[in-house]
Amino acid sequence: MVRHRDEAIDAMLEPFYYQKHITEKIDTARDKWNLLPAFLKVKGLIKQHIDSFNYFLETDLKQIVKANQKVCSDVDQKFWLEYTDIRVLRPTRVDEEIQPHGGSTVTPHECRLRDMTYAAPIVVDIKYRRGSTIVKRKDIQIGRMPIMLRSRNCHLKGKNESELACMNECSVDPGGYFIVRGQEKVILVQEQLSKNRVIVESFKGVTQASVTSSTHERKSKTYVLIKKDRIFVKHNILVEDVPIVIVLKAMGIQSDQEILQLVAGADKVYQDQFLINFEEVMKDDIQTQQQALEYIGSRVKIMRRPVGQYHGRNYQQEAIEALSSIIITHVPVQGMNFRPKAIYIAYMVKRVLMAIDDPKLVDDRDYVGNKRLELAGQMLSLLFEDLFKKFNNDFKARVDKVLKKANRTNELDAYEHLKLHSNHITSGMDRAIATGSWSVKRFKMERAGISHVLSRLSYVSALGMLTRISSQFEKTRKVSGPRALQPSQFGMLCPSDTPEGEQCGLVKNLALMTHITTDDDEDPVRKIVFILGAEDISCSTGVEMYRDGAYIIFINGTPIATTMQPKRFLTGFRKFRRMGRISEFVSVYINHHQAAVHIATDEGRVCRPLIIVEKCRSRVTQRHLESMRKGMMDFDDFLSRGLVEYLDVNEENDSNIALYETNIQAHTTHLEIEPFTILGAVAGLIPFPHHNQSPRNTYQCAMGKQAIGAIGYNQQVRMDSLLYLMVYPQKPLVKTRTIELIQYDKLPAGQNASVAVMSYSGYDIEDALVLNKASCDRGFGRCQVFKKTNIPLSRNINGSLDIINAGLLDLTKEQHKKLDWDGLIMKGEKVTKGDIYALKQTPLNTTPSTLLRPEGASRTIQYKNAHPSYKLPVGAVIDQVALTSSESDITNIKILTRQTRRPELGDKFSSRHGQKGVVGLIAEQADMPFSQNGVCPDIIMNPHGFPSRMTVGKMLELIAGKSGVMTGALQYGTAFLKPRDPGVQSVVEGYGSELIKHGFHYEGKDMLTCGITGEVIPSYVFTGPIYYQKLKHMVQDKMHARATGPIALLTRQPTEGRARDGGLRLGEMERDCLIAYGASQLLRERLMLSSDQHTCDVCAECGLIGYSGWCQVCESSAGVRKMVLPYAAKLLIQELGSMNVRTSLKLVEEFPASKME
Amino acid sequence: MTQPSEAELAKRRFVEFTAETIKNTSATDYPGVYPGEDHSWNIDKFRDSFQVEFHETKAFVSSFSLIGLSAPIANAFRRILIAEVPTIAIEDVYISNNTSVIQDEVLAQRMGLIPFKIDDDLFKWLKWAPAKGQPRDYNTIQLDLEVNCEWFEDGKDKYKKAGERDPRKLYKNAHVYARDFVFKPVNRQMPFVNASNDRGIPSPVFPMHPELLIAKLRPGQVIKIKTHAVKGIGADHAKFSPCATASYRLMPKIDIIKPIIGADASKFARCFPEGVISLKPVTEEQAEDENSPYAGHEGEKYAVVADAMKDPVTRECLRHPEFTDKVRLGRIQDHFIFKIESTGQFTSNDLFVEAAKVLKLKCLRAKRAIQLMNK
């Protein structure tokens, strides 16, 4: 096995052994967490995406093609075409020859730079009929599939660090996203209610069991609900709700007794509850299956049929069709055997009856076990199947068209036609990922916002985006349920990482050790169920099913067998799984309330690994950890040896999991690998998060994504439209295990600042910070901002091209001084507002017609100047100039400008504890307080930030950091970290004694001397290093003022917004203040004179607006007066006029003549 | 006019540490003014009471005490040391070519921070550079940096055959150091080059730390830069600051009020860094004297203050209840222990003299202003 790809993680493994030597003893209680890096080594941080995509490429794609294998013609019955195989190759450029096994040199980075799509050809093998022969062809391209980075088809797969560097790729970058049209796109994880599972709900007094069936062909939702004590089946295809007894009778269960037993077993209470349903049916006099089918058939909505094939309705036929393939589609009806489906519906009824009897048995929709996470692979498979069907339809239509022609000169070769449509699939996939709107016609699905541009603000923000889960439903509903923290999220979803505001609680993030399952085959599982001695359910009666002690076994929500020994079955099943006879992701759990054993093999379940405990002993022992350290075992070995297993939420709920080895009791089944894995990657950056008030951790999760730092090892060759980099990023002094695991210490975003917590100068109120000027001089908080400008040389409709005309270069012109001989600006040149980037020209004539050209006019194209220029008020330096050509052969000149910024007043900084603040003052070093050793703080923070925020973690970070500085070691602030010495209460004690040793106070409080007066400050000041992040919000990007400037075309009012050099709005509320104050002249000035003052001629006679002293209506100039009014008012009058509303102005003398006398 | 007693004066000078606050940190609102007492300043009195003690004198690190000074004056020295004693540093950077991975601005900033030393004669001869205007020989030092990175002749062999990966062994100029700067004397600066100096290095301008890393290069990358260094002060930019740090602390004072004997004594000693407290056995005399607190403790150890100066502000002994009321910690308000770390242009001791000169100039300026005010 090639393992070189894991160099980075291997190296990471080292410090985890507490600097112990190989010969040292391993303490399982403390070192079992070593499994975590081992897990990540095998799984990777965002393996869910990659696994899902790989599954799609390997399995799902083939299944889709298998389901749509054959294309036949309606015209010529003899014609057929069959797909025998489908494969996705490795990514290529569009214009490259397809080589089935050959390598293309295309790299993801090339795609980013050239605005291409990182995609690979999809090829099929076909077999079809040409005339009388059967032709086989191989490797026919039917489209191109965007390839997820680091998936099995990606060129980056299996490359080591130096190989990646040669490809301009960062080795820390996790992959898991696509590059479409040069943009990095992530398909977010979508959270949904689980499919094919019965969910019992009680909503406004109606208790109902519903199931969303989903197969490749169809999606439908079926309800069994209770209305006025009677039970009905409800489905979209049915015009009205159908009584349950009729449905069951239609499915061939004609005897009332059998129905009652299937529905209620031998339970008298349920039987009594159900009896009324029979009475209802008696009224309609429906006894036989035929009658029932007739009844249902007459209530089936008319389906669209091909025109001309209407034969009148056959109710029985329609009912059978509806029951077999539309209602509860996921339970297959083979032949006319409705029994499994009848049992399923009866089971739904039973659940409803149970929920009525005991309202506690209603399911919780928010329970994580009832949810499924849809990943990139599934989303793409939905899309691909739709496109593939459309592709086949188009192909068929084309073939039909050709075959219809009576006299064809040559034999139809389907291959020729197949090739023609390949663009459809390519552009369909491209468009969906590029825009994020998924439209799947067969499910009538229209969803927007599935994919997003990968945020490259910092490494963490990219990582956070890849672990993000967005919720599909209930965005506007004002219920707290879906937003609340669910206890079942424990270990699966991060409790801290969620945005504030609108999306709060709906957008979630995966925890560190979660895995999301892909689909597993049901059949082998079913076999094992029967091997374990369960009885087939279709052979048992209702009484047998529901007798005391009998448990029904469900596979993916469908009852298939019963057993009398559920416990034995369960242990047996688990044993098989631990032996590796069944996939490790198949879960099994028992539900005593429903007397059911559930087995799940479906995709999208969240699960996580846990250590198995047997006989009160952890199965992972010292020996195993030792051999793992020696590299003899990896995580997969732990799995295959049955030491560790994956549990999904449902099974986890059925287990007894000990947090620490000391907590193991008689009934313990599993042991947690490491408690801090309940947090996600982003929340894992916080040191001592368990000491903070919980909202603070949530705030930090939002802010960590805005911190400026390093983006990736390839940050210098990237050309993003906006990129922030820190000049001297540092790894945090107080780190966490998560920081090491996600390699944040390799791409950090922040600096260790020496902080004094004291008040200083009054410019530090409301969380403002005081910065040391000397620190800023030396590079603290310095960052760079890269902005990209595109200069496309586009092709016009008449085929003429934009050009760069270097011939215009005239170095005597001041404007051209910064240009190179090629007419483009030079790298390294400083630019200020108005500087020309390139001598671009566009053709004067871009109209398509050439006929308009006057006779004798020269054929040379006339050009006009269209020189793009630097627009921002603050200058920059040209960092890079690149000429690229895209897939559509358009030359694009990309110019990257760079600004280097030192911190200034108003820049935003934040620690890792949700404590943000702006710079309020940059003080001289001489004015800063200094300690006994002469150390000046870099930052002074106001102590009022602490009491109300309760961020004790920040104080611990300071103390830990300070002791780390003194001892020269990086300290750990991992969540839930226990002190190593069992006799010590808390880790702080250790840090405190370390501080005392080095001549500091044990609480970290130092005596400082005031730099201004030179006297000792009369209180001790809490001083030490804290990791500070510089956030992307900088004053330079926000400051804005305007005296005069551009106005909007329509209203003639000042434009809005900084980007358009807009005015500052005096809004309604400000207006109210001025009115209340009585400042009428100020009001007049602000709202009219300084805005859209307009002078016009108004006719006093008719009240309409005239012009040039003339009233067109009165045809006189007698009453025309000059008037000043806001242009918007004049506009309103005219717009009303256009709607036939006459608005006349009544004029009154301002200074009436009578009064004057 | 009454004169306060010695004890009273000592009490006034004493800055006392308690567990949570520091008492008597400053003088009163009117420093040195007490009702009914004469504390008028007088040069003779000052000369008599003022003392200087040297603790450590190395070329670039020195430590000494100024005793009998008031805090504002001591602080003035500190502030001037940090911000107002001029040195030279690179101010303007003219980049002809920079193909390294470090961006121009960052490289320029790094260069600014390199501490350079120039010969004293040249330094004294140099004048301030005007904010705007042409650089002249009397105000600008030109330093050039021209580095080309390329493979060593045997580099490629080493890489392939020996598997050598250390860039410094493979490429010439893989690392650019401060020593790579070349001083380019112009016009009247020439004589200073030829002037004999005691270092045996012909250049009168050189980096204090020749091994200071500026950038890393790979074959094919070039840095070609011309820089102008000028005289400046730390208040303008930290790069001009002549000291790494200059600060002072007050002289610690530990008063053991009641004797600490036996196990307590050794615990007490452990509360301080080594050498602050020493343990002494109770002598026979002390033990026999019934009035002495040591009575009956003969042979046992008791704590004595050995070297208070070594005491940082751990205040550890205030944490333990057994020492309450037995010890008083504090500082002496008018005893300043200075520590000056120079970056190279001046030796640490000279630096203080330079600061004094600046202070004197400032005083003269103030005096002139006051005289003008009176006119």
3-class secondary structure per residue, A862-918: CEEECCCECCCCCCEEEEEEEEEECCCCCEEEEEEEEEEECCCCCCEEEECCCCEEE
Query: Distance between CA atoms of B25 and B12, rounded to whole angstroms?
Result: 10
User: Helical H runs in A968-1079?
Assistant: 987-997, 1035-1038, 1068-1077
Taking only the tens place, the pLDDT of each residue in A785-842 is 999 999 988 888 777 888 888 888 888 888 888 888 888 999 888 999 888 888 988 8
> Do A926 and B319 make contact, defined as CB atoms within 8 angstroms?
no
Question: What residue has token string 């034969």?
Answer: A311
Q: Is residue A819 in a domain?
A: yes
Whether A803 is covered by a domain: the verdict is: yes
DSSP string spanning A720-775? -SEEEEESS----SEE-HHHHHTTTTTS---EEEEEEES--TTTT-TT-EEEEHHH
pLDDT of residue A308: 53
**What is residue B63's predicted lDDT score, i.e. its pLDDT?**
92
C-alpha distances (whole Å) from A2 to each of A6, A157, A159 are: 9, 11, 10
* pLDDT for res A29: 58
* Interchain proximity A1006–B238, CB inside 8 Å: no
pLDDT value for A494: 92
Phi, psi for residue A589 in degrees, rounded to 5? -150, 165
A-B C-beta contacts closer than 8 Å: 116
CB atoms within 10 A of CB A3: 12
Q: What is the pLDDT of residues B280-303, one digit of tens each?
A: 888 777 777 777 777 777 778 888
The C-alpha R_g of chain A, in whole angstroms, comes to: 36
Asked whether residue A1065 is assigned to any structural domain, the reply reads: no
Domain boundary among A603, A635, A667: A603
Answer yes or no: do A748 and A791 share one domain.
no
Chain B partners within 8 Å of A898 (Cβ): 103, 105
The whole-angstrom distance between A776's CA and the closest CA on chain B is: 9
Ranges of chain A whose pLDDT falls below 70: 1-33, 43, 98-102, 303-313, 409, 421-422, 473-478, 480, 848-859, 981-983, 1154-1157
In a domain, A504, yes or no: no
Q: Could you tell me how far CA B230 lies from the centroid of its own chain?
A: 23
Average pLDDT for chain B? 86
Do A820 and A839 sit in the same domain of this protein? yes
Of the candidates B244, B245, B239, the one whose C-alpha atom is nearest the C-alpha of residue B87 is: B239
- Distance between CA A933 and CA A927 in Å, rounded? 16
The closest alpha carbon to A701, from A682, A679, A688, belongs to A682
By Cβ distance, the residue of A727, A926, A1019 closest to B22 is: A1019
Buried b (16+ CB within 10 A) or exposed e, A75-110: eeeebebbbeebbbbbbbbeeeeeeeeeebebbbbb
pLDDT for A762-771, tens place per residue? 899 999 999 9
Nearest C-alpha neighbor of A882 from the set A935, A849, A838: A838
**Residue A454 to residue A173: CA distance in whole angstroms:** 12
Shared domain check, A317 and A221: yes
Question: What pLDDT, on the 0 to 100 scale, is given for residue B36?
Answer: 81
Residue A1131 sits in a domain of what CATH number? 3.90.1800.10
| Per-residue model confidence (pLDDT) at position B27 | 61
Per-residue tokens: A851: 């006929």
> Which CATH number does the domain housing residue A836 bear?
2.40.50.150
What's residue A851's pLDDT?
58
Q: What are phi and psi of A204, to 5 degrees?
A: 50, 45
- Same structural domain, A810 and A926: no
Residue A1143 lies in a domain: yes
**Chain B residues closer than 8 Å to A784 by CB:** 103, 106
DSSP code, position A1089: I
Task: Give the closest of A777, A932, A1000 to B249, CB-based.
Answer: A932
Tell me, what's the pLDDT at A495? 93
CB B256 within 8 Å of CB B305: yes
Which tokens in the block code for residue A1062? 């807009």
A1145 and A1115 co-located in one domain? yes
In tens, the pLDDT along A614-636 reads 888 888 887 888 787 777 887 88
Is A590 within the bounds of a domain?
yes
| b/e burial code for range A511-530 (CB count within 10 A of at least 16 → b) | bbbbbbbbbbebeebbebbe
When divided into structural domains, chain A yields a total of: 6
Structure tokens at B202: 């012909």
Helix intervals (H) in A643-688: 649-653
**Which pLDDT belongs to residue A853?**
57
Residues of B in contact with A727 (CB under 8 A): 106
A802 and A761 together in one domain: no
Which of B239, B313, B341 lies at the smallest CB-CB distance from A777?
A: B239
Mind telling me how many Å the CA of A813 is from chain B's nearest CA? Answer: 22
Domain interval for residue A106:
47-185+373-439
The residue behind tokens 């309450």 is B324
Query: Residues 6 or more apart from B259 whose CB is under 8 A from it?
Result: B293, B294, B302, B303, B326
Pairing of strands A939-941, A769-772: antiparallel
Can you say whether residue A131 is alpha, beta or left, with left for phi > 0 and alpha for psi between -120 and 50 degrees?
left
* Element spanning A1129, H or E: helix A1127-1138
Of B17, B20, B247, nearest to A930 by CB-CB distance is B247
d(CA A1091, CA A1054): 6
Kindly report the nearest CA distance between residue B244 and chain A, in angstroms. 10
Q: Cα A724–A725–A727 angle (5° rounding)?
A: 145
Same-domain pairing of A59 and A170? yes
Of residues A925, A935, A1016, nearest to B82 (C-beta): A925
In a domain, A277, yes or no: yes
Interface mutation vs chain A, best among B82, B95, B362, most A CBs within 10 Å:
B82
Q: Do A970 and A956 have their domain in common?
A: yes
Q: Which of B15, B72, B238 minimises the CB distance to A925?
A: B238
Closest residue to A925, CB basis, from B17, B20, B83: B83
Q: Which ipTM did the prediction report? A: 0.92
Which domains does chain B carry?
A: 40-85+242-256+330-375 (3.30.1360.10), 88-241 (2.170.120.12), 258-325 (3.30.1360.10)
- A-side interface with B, Cβ within 8 Å? 716, 727, 773-774, 777-779, 782, 784, 828, 877, 879, 898, 900, 924-926, 930, 932-936, 996, 999-1002, 1006-1007, 1009, 1011-1020
| Contact call for residues A267 and A546 (beta carbons, < 8 A) | yes
Residue A818 and residue A758 share a domain: no
Interface contact flag, B22 A935, Cβ < 8 Å: no
Residues from chain A that touch B21, judged by Cβ atoms under 8 A, are 1018-1020
The last residue of one of the domains, among A1030, A1045, A1060, is A1030
CA distances in angstroms from A602 to A211, A214, A340, A558, A588, listed in the order given: 15, 12, 19, 12, 12
Distance of CA A505 to CAs A480, A482, A486, A494, Å? 9, 7, 10, 11
Distance CA(B27)–CA(A455), nearest Å, equals: 57
Give the distance from residue A772's alpha carbon to the nearest chain B alpha carbon, in angstroms: 10
Determine the pLDDT at residue B324.
83
- Among A545, A573, A603, the domain boundary falls at A603
A926 with B71: Cβ contact below 8 A: no
Looking at the fold, whether A885 and A925 belong to one and the same domain comes out as: no
Structure-model confidence comparison of residues A848 and B243, the more confident one: B243
Residue A924 and residue A817 in one domain: no
CATH number, residue A257: 3.90.1110.10
CA distances for A818 relative to A374, A384, A499, A875, B96, angstroms: 52, 50, 45, 14, 14
Residue A952 has a pLDDT of 93
Residue A1006's CATH number: 2.40.270.10
A892 and A917 in a common domain:
no
Domain assignment present for residue A771? The answer is yes
Q: Report pLDDT for B120.
A: 81
Interface contact A926-B113, CB threshold 8 A: no
